[in-house]
Chain A
């Protein structure tokens, strides 16, 4: 278990403000935030390569401030792979084992085993700089895992890979996490990586922890507009609570009365979050019932994405919905068409509007 207690680090322009997080044993823990926010420093603080200006880092309940990196049983894989250029792939992987003074024969067999595991046995005698990024990343991971660390720290490991390699690597990471019951802390700016791998997620923006929790909670229920935007919630509105509905409140946003899952007091200024994936487009004559919010609407635009379509819809407010190609064909959706949109009140997440924003909160 890794705990940060009010850890502050200042490094040049970057500042980490009193960060407190807790990574449990066996977690696949993601730290996500915009690029260039110095997330690497958090990993280096866990590894003991950076010392916090204040606060404590605990591993398994013990303050590790006096423990040097080589004694922490933590492996760190950097974004740039950091393979030793003067050693072959085999020597790179054997590096940690040689330091442990393990007999040559055992080193040999463990290196071979891990190279096999990652499908890079044929690269054993190659020099790192002659290989592709994907291959180098595999070597870096093999080198980190062969020493059997308790904790694996990953610094944007997928950012320099093409999509095909990335998908393969994500599958590898998932398998490693499952097989070895490893605690993994993975730093990235990519929501997609977090969605496909994380068990828990921390969102850090401008050096401050904005949210920490289970993956789905973080991606569905952001605490404020900043996080909502960052985790990619397509529909974010400002609204006012105007009444009570079934199991929640009614919020007025630009003339639409939206029923929500959570409840807030009347008159409260709130931020409304609805994921496009939760919005469905139906035939034009649907009427709202107790179960769904439903509004007459018009399709404004259809934007193709990698494996789905984003529909821009206006119903007094501008909403985004997702649709598959199949859906669009079956329903014959075209821009300008009249439809109705519906979404469940439980899919509508509300938070009090930030006090920092222009409108006063209640």
Chain B
């Protein structure tokens, strides 16, 4: 018996070898960047502490968070409708929700631009009350909101679908209105999905480049800045900026993953 367990399953072994390509690729790239920066620490620190870099990182993170807040407001109701109701044209609505996943990001950028530019169907009425998207913070938020919405809506919808309808029905017969049942039963039981959907959307938002530069090249998000440095100052400087962002992302997502373990621990038992 002992002997048997030591013989590796040839199928699993080959799968592991083939699959490790993906892991190796990421690790290799990270290692190359890290080694280069660590061996030239003073240079990295001088670049990373430039106010331009710090500003861009902060802007990216905050705009991404802002998009997530908007998704919480608009995405949760949509996710609930998709999870709990059947209606004609539901398939169509689902496909529309998924469109930003499928499209090349430059196309997403054009879609965001024509809606939110000063003469755009949404941009124009807003510009009249002094709210500008083009070349502004809000343009960045709009682009991030657009490209990350499917990730958020689908994750949250999965969460809602995992809450048995019977629980909601039981709450209704105990005197809860539909909204009360949603707030007191469905929402708390899908917290983990909402949280992970938010992280997914945030990650997707801060990673956006193409859609953002079309509506708002300035103020520069981190991707714009890295690309700008790459084309003007070269690889050495842009890699240093990239490494700064990598460090921030790793720390932030490590914290979020830690938090997630504490959120909605009942989800698994629904």
Chain A interface (Cβ < 8 Å from any Cβ of B): 44, 47-49, 68-70, 72, 74-78, 80, 82, 84-86, 95-96, 99-100, 129, 140, 143-144, 147, 149, 153
Answer whether A99 and B167 are a contact pair too, CB < 8 Å, given A69-B172, A75-B174. Answer: no
Answer whether A95 and B169 are a contact pair too, CB < 8 Å, given A86-B188, A86-B189. Answer: no
Assembly CA distance A100 to B172 (angstroms): 13
Among residues of B, the one whose C-beta sits closest to the C-beta of A93 is B174
Answer whether A70 and B175 are a contact pair too, CB < 8 Å, given A44-B169, A49-B169. Answer: yes
Assembly CA distance A75 to B172 (angstroms): 9
Are the C-beta atoms of A143 and B174 separated by less than 8 Å? yes
Chain A residues within an 8 Å CB radius of B270 = 85
Chain A residues within an 8 Å CB radius of B175 = 70, 96, 99-100, 147
Are the C-beta atoms of B173 and A80 separated by less than 8 Å? no
Assembly CA distance A297 to B163 (angstroms): 60
Given A68-B172, A70-B180, A99-B174, 13 additional A-B pairs, CB 8 A: A69-B173, A70-B173, A74-B173, A75-B174, A78-B169, A82-B164, A84-B170, A84-B189, A85-B269, A99-B180, A129-B269, A149-B173, A153-B173
Are the C-beta atoms of B176 and A47 separated by less than 8 Å? no
Are the C-beta atoms of A147 and B174 separated by less than 8 Å? yes
Answer whether A76 and B171 are a contact pair too, CB < 8 Å, given A85-B189, A86-B188. Answer: no
Are the C-beta atoms of B266 and A85 separated by less than 8 Å? yes
B114 CB–A CB distance under 8 Å: no
Chain A residues within an 8 Å CB radius of B164 = 80, 82
Among residues of A, the one whose C-beta sits closest to the C-beta of B266 is A86
Shortest C-beta distance, A42 to chain B (Å), equals 14
Are the C-beta atoms of B173 and A99 separated by less than 8 Å? no
Chain B residues within an 8 Å CB radius of A140 = 170
Among residues of A, the one whose C-beta sits closest to the C-beta of B189 is A86
Among residues of A, the one whose C-beta sits closest to the C-beta of B166 is A82
B residues 152-205 in Cβ contact with A at 8 Å:
164, 166-167, 169-178, 180, 184-185, 188-189
Among residues of A, the one whose C-beta sits closest to the C-beta of B167 is A82
**Contacts A/B (CB < 8 Å), 23 sampled:** A44-B169, A47-B172, A48-B172, A49-B172, A69-B169, A69-B173, A70-B174, A70-B176, A70-B177, A75-B173, A78-B166, A80-B164, A82-B164, A82-B167, A82-B170, A84-B167, A84-B171, A85-B270, A95-B171, A96-B175, A99-B176, A100-B175, A143-B174
Assembly CA distance A36 to B174 (angstroms): 26
Assembly CA distance A86 to B186 (angstroms): 10
**Number of residues of chain B lying within 8 A (CB) of chain A:** 21
Assembly CA distance A76 to B188 (angstroms): 22
Assembly CA distance A86 to B268 (angstroms): 11
Are the C-beta atoms of A68 and B177 separated by less than 8 Å? yes
Q: Which 9 A-B pairs have the closest CB atoms?
A: A96-B174, A69-B172, A82-B170, A99-B175, A86-B266, A82-B166, A76-B173, A85-B266, A70-B175
Shortest C-beta distance, A336 to chain B (Å), equals 54
Answer whether A70 and B170 are a contact pair too, CB < 8 Å, given A86-B188, A86-B189, A129-B269. Answer: no
Are the C-beta atoms of A70 and B166 separated by less than 8 Å? no
Are the C-beta atoms of A76 and B180 separated by less than 8 Å? no
Chain A residues within an 8 Å CB radius of B174 = 70, 75, 95-96, 99, 143-144, 147
At the interface, is chain B mostly helix, strand, loop or mixed? helix
Chain B residues within an 8 Å CB radius of A96 = 174-175
Assembly CA distance A96 to B174 (angstroms): 5
Contact with A along B28-57 (1 / 0, CB 8 A): 000000000000000000000000000000
Chain A residues within an 8 Å CB radius of B176 = 70, 95, 99
Are the C-beta atoms of A76 and B169 separated by less than 8 Å? yes
Among residues of A, the one whose C-beta sits closest to the C-beta of B180 is A99
Assembly CA distance A204 to B170 (angstroms): 24
Among residues of A, the one whose C-beta sits closest to the C-beta of B191 is A86
Shortest C-beta distance, B179 to chain A (Å), equals 11
Assembly CA distance A68 to B171 (angstroms): 12
Assembly CA distance A99 to B38 (angstroms): 60
Assembly CA distance A190 to B173 (angstroms): 25
Assembly CA distance A86 to B169 (angstroms): 16
Shortest C-beta distance, B66 to chain A (Å), equals 29
Chain A residues within an 8 Å CB radius of B269 = 85, 129
Assembly CA distance A318 to B170 (angstroms): 49
Assembly CA distance A80 to B170 (angstroms): 11
Assembly CA distance A143 to B175 (angstroms): 12
Assembly CA distance A80 to B163 (angstroms): 13
Chain A residues within an 8 Å CB radius of B178 = 68
Assembly CA distance A105 to B178 (angstroms): 27
Assembly CA distance A267 to B266 (angstroms): 68
Chain B residues within an 8 Å CB radius of A76 = 169-170, 173
Chain B residues within an 8 Å CB radius of A143 = 174
Among residues of A, the one whose C-beta sits closest to the C-beta of B174 is A96
Chain A residues within an 8 Å CB radius of B173 = 47, 49, 69-70, 72, 74-76, 144, 149, 153
Assembly CA distance A80 to B270 (angstroms): 11
Assembly CA distance A277 to B178 (angstroms): 50
Which of A69, A80, A149 has the most chain B CB atoms inside 10 A of its CB?
A69
Chain B residues within an 8 Å CB radius of A86 = 188-189, 266
Assembly CA distance A48 to B174 (angstroms): 12
